[in-house]
């Protein structure tokens, strides 16, 4: 029958569409269900990442950085201009065209790999039956040997700041501003808040970031976090820690925010726009019937094992709906793993080596354990650092903020963590990911030839510094 498949994936985001493509490549009859559609009623594939997350935000980050560089830095290179202006609608049009190109590309990949796209809302019923509700309200039943739940996540809303069209917005709304707000408030100093604050701050907005936690980037290595905070403050991002928002009021097209500061005193600020970026929650509402047998944890995530199998045989869940960081690359790798397991292959995923990146400028990225985590574990360790201020390539590019930090086991020399704030941090950390995947020691990387001049040489110098052998900085005395 037409509606019988080996694999049915609910959700066409990075976890879902990658899983569907890989399953089809392995010879499995595969369908992918997606409910998101555009103004013309056509399916919008790619999920949050391609449509209102990773891709559009990076497009705006790139445009805003080019503008800021032209305005502030070109003169240092001898490039003179009479003035630089930002055309926000044109910037937004460019962003939208990139999104359209990539989402259309996913549809092309489905066709090329033989994935059947089912447009509508999927709901898992008992016995691995999937109810497909189409846009016109009609309902069809789809049968699968295996079902993969990949419905993604959505922004968290908080009671003190209910969303108000155009004034109090979530991360999706913050991607659609058609002009630069003079005063911008951001609730949350996480990845999303920092990236969006950077976009509009570079374009001229006065940005205040209110973070309820007392620590900045608490999951990052704290030496890197402190360095990052100093850099952002120099960029005029007003980041206020220990600031708990208690209320808001919209009046005269302005937003008044009330918050309690780190000392416990009540404070008020007025903004033209307010972005609520306090995190995301899994999309599990109406995803499963009560008798489907799927269990959720206390935070609303689908309970799965290390191979993303739920409590129901043949039903898997991947991406933002399961435990772990809400990262597109984590979800994609889970999707590949599940497809290969369903096809009978032995597949596993190394959850200890999922890199994290904040695409501000400079970028912030890390993989493995922070120094705080290593110290807490009781393992004896050694550390090497190298500042980009001593990098010839960074100096030539006038991009010298930040550093590379490498942590290694004192006894085995195995690399335990790589942490970077600085230019091309994401790409430098990725080199660390590859090395750590092969259980490299700091000596292994130290003996590796790095081309000159490159930013990657900062990683080379950092691993040399682990044992006090750095060439281009003075080495710290070892105990």
Alpha carbon distance 191, 183 (integer Å) = 20
**Residues found in the chain:** 479
pLDDT score at 301? 98
Total number of domains constituting the chain: 3
Q: How far apart are CA 273 and CA 160, in angstroms?
A: 15
DSSP secondary structure, 154-171, as one string: EEPP-TTS--BTTTEE-H
Q: What is the CATH number of the domain that holds 409?
A: 3.30.390.30
Phi, psi of 458 (to 5 degrees): -65, -35
Listed residue (239, 221, 219) closest to 229, CA to CA: 239
Question: Do 336 and 438 belong to one domain?
Answer: no
Same domain, 11 and 150: yes
Q: Is residue 147 located within the same domain as residue 273? A: no
For residue 478, being part of any structural domain is answered with no
Q: Are 51 and 99 in contact (CB under 8 A)?
A: yes
Task: Name every residue whose Cβ is closer than 8 Å to that of residue 272 and which is 6 or more positions away in sequence.
Answer: 181, 182, 183, 184, 253, 254, 255
Confidence at residue 42, expressed as pLDDT on a 0 to 100 scale: 82
Q: What is the structure's pLDDT at 14? A: 98
Residue 473 lies in a domain: no
CA distance 297 to 287: 15
Q: What is the pLDDT of residue 2?
A: 60
Residue 261 has what pLDDT?
98
Domain boundary among 278, 304, 332: 278
* Tokens linked to 223: 């030496």
- pLDDT > 80? residue 479: no
Whether 472 is in a domain gets the answer no
Give residue 112's domain range.
4-155+281-351
Assign residue 244 the CATH number of its domain. 3.50.50.60
Residue 118 shares a structural domain with residue 78: yes
Nearest to 174 by CA among 209, 141, 140, 145: 209
| pLDDT classification of 193: cutoffs 50, 70, 90 | very high
Instruction: Kindly report the number of other CB atoms within 10 A of residue 293's CB atom.
Output: 16
pLDDT grade for 1, boundaries at 50, 70 and 90 = very low
Helix, coil or strand: residue 442: helix
| CB proximity list for 149: less than 8 A, separation 6 or greater | 10, 11, 124, 287, 288, 294, 302, 310, 315, 316, 317, 318, 321
**Residue 429 maps to a domain:** yes
Task: Tell whether 14 and 117 lie within a shared domain.
Answer: yes
Residue 415 is assigned to a structural domain of this protein: yes
Q: Do β-strands 206-211 and 237-241 pair in parallel, antiparallel, or remain unpaired?
A: parallel
- Of 311, 328, 351, the domain-final residue: 351
Round to whole Å and give the CA distance between 13 and 357: 19
In this structure, is residue 418 part of a structural domain? yes
Asked if pLDDT for residue 171 goes beyond 70, the answer is yes
Please indicate, yes or no, whether residues 216 and 143 belong to a single structural domain of this protein.
no
Per-residue pLDDT tens for 111-157? 999 999 999 999 999 999 999 999 999 999 999 999 999 999 999 99
Confidence of residue 478 (pLDDT cuts 50, 70, 90): low
Q: Are 13 and 46 in contact (CB under 8 A)?
A: yes
Which of 429-434's residues contact partners 24+ apart within 8 Å by CB, and which partners? Answer: 429/355, 429/357, 429/365, 429/366, 429/367, 430/355, 431/456, 431/459, 432/367, 432/368, 432/406, 432/459, 433/353, 433/355, 433/367
Burial of 3 per CB tally in 10 Å (0-12, 13-18, 19+): middle
Does the pLDDT at position 293 exceed 80?
Answer: yes
Active-site residue (options: 77, 81, 452, 469): 452
For residues 263 and 202, membership in a common domain is answered with: yes
pLDDT tens-digit map of 217-271: 999 999 999 999 999 999 999 999 999 999 999 999 999 999 999 999 999 999 9
Write down the pLDDT at residue 440. Answer: 98
How does DSSP classify residue 251? E
Which domain-ending residue is among 262, 278, 294? Answer: 278
Query: Is 163 contained in some domain?
Result: no
Give percent of the chain above pLDDT 90. 96
Is there a single domain that holds both residue 145 and residue 207?
A: no
Task: Based on the fold, state whether residues 90 and 200 are members of the same structural domain.
Answer: no
Query: If we measure between CA atoms, which residue out of 134, 180, 155 comes closest to residue 281?
Result: 155
Q: How confident is the model at residue 41 (pLDDT cuts 50, 70, 90)?
A: confident
- Same domain, yes or no: 220 and 302: no
Express each pLDDT in 410-439 by its tens digit: 999 999 999 999 999 999 999 999 999 999
Residues 379, 339 within the same domain: no
Q: Is 452 a catalytic residue?
A: yes
Report pLDDT digits (tens) over 172-187.
999 999 999 999 999 9
Residues of the chain with pLDDT > 70, as a percent, come to 99
If you average pLDDT over every residue of the chain, what do you get? Answer: 97
pLDDT tens figures, 318-356: 999 999 999 999 999 999 999 999 999 999 999 999 999
400 lies in some domain: yes
Q: Where are the alpha helices (DSSP H) in 328-454?
A: 328-342, 371-377, 392-396, 425-437, 442-446
Instruction: Give the tens place of pLDDT for each residue, 130-142.
Output: 999 999 999 999 9
The phi and psi torsions of 203 (rounded to 5 degrees) equal -85, 0
Global pTM reads: 0.96
- Shared domain check, 240 and 190: yes
């Amino acid at each position: 029958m037409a509606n019988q498949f080996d694999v049915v994936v609910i959700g066409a985001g990075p976890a879902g569409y990658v899983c569907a493509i890989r399953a089809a490549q392995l010879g499995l009859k595969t369908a992918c269900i997606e409910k998101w559609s555009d103004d013309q009623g056509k399916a919008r594939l790619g999920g949050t990442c391609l449509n209102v997350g990773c891709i559009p935000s990076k497009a705006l980050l790139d445009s805003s950085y080019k503008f800021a560089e032209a305005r502030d830095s070109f003169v240092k290179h001898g490039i003179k201009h009479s003035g630089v202006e930002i055309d926000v609608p044109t910037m937004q049009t460019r962003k939208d065209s990139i999104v359209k190109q990539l989402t259309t590309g996913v549809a092309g990949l489905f066709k090329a790999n033989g994935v059947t796209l089912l447009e509508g809302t999927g709901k898992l019923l008992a016995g691995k039956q999937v109810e497909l509700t189409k846009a016109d309200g009609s309902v069809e039943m789809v049968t699968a040997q295996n079902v993969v739940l990949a419905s993604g996540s959505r922004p968290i809303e908080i009671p003190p700041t209910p969303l108000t069209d155009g004034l109090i917005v979530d991360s999706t709304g913050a991607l659609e501003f058609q002009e630069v707000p003079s005063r911008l408030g951001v609730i949350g100093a996480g990845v999303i808040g920092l990236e969006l604050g950077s976009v509009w701050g570079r374009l001229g907005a006065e940005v205040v970031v209110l973070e309820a936690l007392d620590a900045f980037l608490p999951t990052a290595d704290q030496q890197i976090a402190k360095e990052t905070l100093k850099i952002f403050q120099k960029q005029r991002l007003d980041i206020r820690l220990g600031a708990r928002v208690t209320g808001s009021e919209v009046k005269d097209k302005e937003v008044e925010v009330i918050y309690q500061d780190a000392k416990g005193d009540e404070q008020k600020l007025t903004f033209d726009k307010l972005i609520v970026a306090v995190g995301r929650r899994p999309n599990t509402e109406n995803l499963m019937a009560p008798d489907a047998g799927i269990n959720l944890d206390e935070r609303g995530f689908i309970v799965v094992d290390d191979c993303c199998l739920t409590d129901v045989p043949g039903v898997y869940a991947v991406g933002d709906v399961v435990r772990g960081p809400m990262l597109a690359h984590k979800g994609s790798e889970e999707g590949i793993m599940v497809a290969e397991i369903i096809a009978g292959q032995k597949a596993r995923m190394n959850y200890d080596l999922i890199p994290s990146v904040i695409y501000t400028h400079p970028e912030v990225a890390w993989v493995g354990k922070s120094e705080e985590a290593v110290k807490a574990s009781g393992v004896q360790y050694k550390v090497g650092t190298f500042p980009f201020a001593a990098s010839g390539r960074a100096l030539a590019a006038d991009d010298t903020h930040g550093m590379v930090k490498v942590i290694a086991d004192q006894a085995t020399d195995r690399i335990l963590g790589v942490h970077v704030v600085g230019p091309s941090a994401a790409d430098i950390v990725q080199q660390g990911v590859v090395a750590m995947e092969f259980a490299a020691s700091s000596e292994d990387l130290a003996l590796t030839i790095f081309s000159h001049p490159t930013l990657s040489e900062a990683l080379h110098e950092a691993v040399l510094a682990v044992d006090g052998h750095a060439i281009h900085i003075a080495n710290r005395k070892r105990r």
